[in-house]
Amino acid sequence: MEAVLSAGARIERASIAKRLILSPASVVFVLLLAELFWPVPGEEYPAYLLALTAAVELVYLVRVSLGRGGKGLAGAGDIAAIIFGILLAWHLCTTRFVLLDKMLFPKPEPVLRLFVSELPDMLKGLVNSLILLVSGYLIALATAIPLGLVVGWRVRIFNAVHPFTKVLGPIPPIVYIPYAIALLPSFRAASIFVIFIGAFWPVFINTVNGVFNIHKGLLDSARVLSLSERTLLFRVILPGAMPSICTGATLGLVFALVLLTAAELIGANSGIGWYVKNFADFADYQRVVVGIIFISIVVTVITWGTERLERRLLRWRN
């Protein structure tokens, strides 16, 4: 029996290795390495770009070794192939053939070197950005979810509030900036308010819709059991609306991230959005690209964490 299991494991490993070698990620990885090792006259050795390529390949191989093959292997391979393809196109269009404007599209090697040197300053700015983002976003969740549950639960309240929701929801939060600056005690409070408004409406509207979408038979059965309103709210309505609440929370986080740059322009002198805007004003596009890469990494980490949290909250659906 052990021999059969061992043979099966060897066959599975061989199958995964074959798919790994023939995967698009491996093909693009080889092309990228060939391009980087083919010297460009007058250009520096792309040490940082090679290091980044090796790091992406290492993460890909670790992901494959820890996964179970199948869709997980294909998904990781597709992501790695896209990253390698972007790096290859970036190097070809700016270093090998110079097809793009040199000022607007800097070469990858100096950008990556600058990224490493600027990383400590960007991490300091990230702390300030996260304070604004987390404060505004958590306040939005703490107010939008309870209000959405109550408004969705009580038809009379919904009929009174719904017309105002249709009017106030689509208004861009940045139009409130002058009043936020004038009425709130500090620039930081005004920045948090802008993020709060941007995140509030998606969470609120999706929470109300989630309550409306709960099956009426489920609510009728709960009332037949003479459950108290508190029990009905927290044991039936809240779990039933949780999928919509999670959707709204994700949308609210996206809007909060988008508004972070606008919020950081209100009296801020640091932050990841401020970093990009500040150097764009001075046409320092190397640092602009550095900031964009850093923001992409931060957003990827945040969305990865929220996806894991959403899966945990909705694990009962699986």
> In percent, how much of the chain has pLDDT > 70?
88
pTM: 0.84
Tell me how far apart the alpha carbons of residues 177 and 194 are, in angstroms, rounded to a whole number: 7
pLDDT tens for residues 198-217? 999 999 999 999 888 887 77
pLDDT tens for residues 251-296? 999 999 888 888 887 767 788 888 888 898 898 999 999 999 999 9
Per domain, the residue ranges of the chain are 2-96, 111-317
To the question of domain 111-317 being in CATH 3.40.640.10, the answer is: no
Higher pLDDT, 266 or 169: 169
Per-residue confidence (pLDDT) for residue 142, from 0 to 100: 95
Per-residue confidence (pLDDT) for residue 7, from 0 to 100: 47
Banded model confidence at residue 110, pLDDT cuts 50, 70, 90: very high
Query: Which token pair is 38?
Result: 């083919």
Residue 9 confidence (pLDDT) above 90: no
Orientation angle between helical segments 238-264 and 285-313, nearest 10 degrees:
170
| Count of beta carbons in the 10 Å neighbourhood of residue 248 | 28
Residue 193 confidence (pLDDT) above 90: yes
